[in-house]
């Protein structure tokens, strides 16, 4: 007769096999190699005299560098706020039943995604040359009610954030559209059955659920925008971080240390943005976490809905699952 063994749960299991865990040396070897390469990289950065870290620390908090950081952040914030607003409008236009709105949205996205952002910034820098005056009047006639020199409104700073925002809106609109289409159509149908208007459905039902999908790529686009501000020299706008470090480089003829200064500040700001992105993802992801739905120990009744399960209850559920699997395999 086969000898019975009793496990920790008090179950009699005949001829139970005691399996040993498989030794996995691959992850350990990979970790050692990566750690060795990282140590070599750090050692090279610290000991290489050509990096001239004394100059890096000297200019890290230079007033011109700090001013450049301020303009870089200002450009990033203004451009992203305008781009997000435009992207939502464009995404809604793409889903509109009106073919004119769909066509205008498609053309905008096609044009601004199809041309380099640097080229667009150059055009915005030449806007006052292309359009000397901005005016309001009757279209297709010479009647003008109001006019102003375009150079008064489209300054270098304004041209920079307008160019960045329009380009970014074309990319963000596709992200927003993907988020809107990911929401179950049944949500819209249920809201219509309750008599809600399309605008209210979009604002209160669709957009809040779509944010879970929209936030992660939007965070990546924000980080990309932070670094894209270095291209506004094409306008030309010469007060952001990259140009500030380049100006110091041309004065002291030390390009490597000043590049490191710019890298350190970009990495610092990017790290803060990544933390903010993670917090936003957790906030808009509430209610979407997977919840276990298994039979209770005292019966076959199922746990309906997203029930919050404590650690003790999780252990009980896991034990119940093990018992059922053992019973099936016995």
Residue 42 lies in a domain: no
Domain of 303, in residue numbers: 291-330
CA–CA gap between residue 113 and residue 211 (Å, rounded) = 23
Q: What DSSP string describes 4-65?
A: EEE-TTS-EEET---PPPPP--HHHHHHHHHHHHHHHHHHHHHH-GGG-HHHHHHHTT-HHH
207-228 and 156-182 helices cross at what angle (nearest 10)?
150
Q: Are residues 221 and 317 both part of a single domain?
A: no
Count structural domains, the chain. 2
Q: Is the pLDDT of residue 286 over 60?
A: yes
Cβ contact 16:326 at 8 Å: no
Give pLDDT, residue 188.
85
User: Worst-scoring range by mean pLDDT, 31-35, 121-125, 236-240?
Assistant: 236-240
Q: Which letter does DSSP use for residue 2 in this model?
A: P
Q: Which letter does DSSP use for residue 144 in this model?
A: E
Residue 102 lies in a domain: yes
Q: Is the pLDDT of residue 326 over 60?
A: no
CA end-to-end distance (rounded Å), the chain:
16
Q: Are residues 156 and 296 both part of a single domain?
A: no
Residue 183 lies in a domain: yes
Burial class (CB in 10 A: 0-12, 13-18, 19+), 15: exposed
Give pLDDT, residue 297.
46
Question: Could you tell me the pLDDT band of residue 113, with boundaries at 50, 70 and 90?
Answer: very high
Cβ contact 177:91 at 8 Å: yes
Cβ contact 167:75 at 8 Å: no
Residues 6 or more apart whose CB falls under 8 angstroms from that of 26 comprise none
Q: Are residues 96 and 196 both part of a single domain?
A: yes
Residue 250 lies in a domain: no
**Mean pLDDT in residue range 114-137:** 88
Q: Which CATH number does the domain housing residue 111 bear?
A: 1.10.3720.10
Residue 161 lies in a domain: yes
The total of other beta-carbon atoms located within 10 Å of residue 171's CB is 19
Q: Give this prediction's pTM.
A: 0.74
Handedness of CA 168, 171, 177, 178 (dihedral sign): negative
The total of other beta-carbon atoms located within 10 Å of residue 213's CB is 19
Q: Are residues 84 and 200 both part of a single domain?
A: yes
Cβ contact 78:165 at 8 Å: yes
Per-residue pLDDT of 15-57, as tens digits, reads: 677 777 777 888 889 999 999 999 999 998 888 888 888 999 9
The whole-chain average pLDDT of the chain stands at 82
Cβ contact 155:71 at 8 Å: no
Q: Which of 203, 238, 273 is the last residue of a domain?
A: 238
Q: Is the pLDDT of residue 178 over 50?
A: yes
Q: Are residues 110 and 221 both part of a single domain?
A: yes
**Mean pLDDT in residue range 279-306:** 57
Per-residue pLDDT of 210-227, as tens digits, reads: 888 888 899 999 999 999
Q: Are residues 79 and 191 both part of a single domain?
A: yes
Give pLDDT, residue 269.
93
**Mean pLDDT in residue range 89-118:** 91
**Mean pLDDT in residue range 7-19:** 64
Question: Could you tell me the pLDDT band of residue 321, with boundaries at 50, 70 and 90?
Answer: low
Q: Which of 205, 238, 271 is the last residue of a domain?
A: 238
Question: Could you tell me the pLDDT band of residue 284, with boundaries at 50, 70 and 90?
Answer: confident
Q: Is the pLDDT of residue 78 over 60?
A: yes
């Amino acid at each position: 007769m086969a000898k019975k063994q009793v496990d920790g749960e008090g179950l009699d299991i005949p001829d139970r096999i005691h399996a040993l865990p498989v030794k996995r040396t691959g992850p350990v070897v990979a970790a050692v190699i990566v750690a060795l390469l990282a140590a070599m990289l750090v050692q090279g950065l610290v000991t290489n005299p050509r990096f001239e870290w004394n100059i890096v620390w000297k200019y890290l908090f230079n007033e011109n560098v700090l001013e450049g950081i301020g303009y870089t952040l200002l450009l990033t914030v203004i451009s992203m706020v305008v781009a997000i607003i435009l992207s939502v409008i464009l995404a809604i236009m793409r889903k509109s039943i009106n073919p004119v709105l769909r066509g205008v949205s498609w053309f905008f996205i096609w044009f601004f995604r199809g041309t380099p952002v640097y080229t667009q910034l150059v055009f915005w820098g030449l806007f006052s040359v292309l359009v000397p005056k901005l005016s309001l009047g009757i279209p297709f006639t010479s009647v003008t009610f109001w006019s102003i020199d375009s150079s008064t409104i489209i300054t270098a700073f304004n041209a920079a954030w307008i160019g960045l925002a329009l380009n970014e809106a074309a990319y963000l609109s596709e992200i927003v559209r993907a988020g809107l289409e990911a929401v179950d159509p049944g949500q819209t149908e249920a809201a219509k059955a309750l008599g809600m208007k399309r605008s209210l459905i979009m604002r209160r039902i669709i957009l809040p659920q779509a944010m879970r999908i929209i936030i992660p790529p939007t965070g990546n686009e924000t980080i990309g925008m932070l670094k894209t501000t270095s291209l506004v020299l094409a306008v030309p706008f010469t007060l952001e971080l990259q140009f500030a470090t380049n100006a110091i480089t041309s004065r002291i003829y030390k390009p490597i240390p000043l590049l490191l200064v710019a890298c350190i500040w970009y990495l610092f700001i990017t790290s803060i943005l990544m933390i903010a992105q993670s917090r936003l993802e957790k906030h808009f992801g509430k209610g979407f976490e997977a919840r276990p739905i298994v039979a209770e120990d005292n019966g076959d009744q199922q746990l309906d809905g997203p029930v919050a399960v404590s650690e003790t209850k999780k252990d009980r559920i896991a034990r119940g699952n093990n018992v059922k699997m053992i019973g099936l395999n016995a």
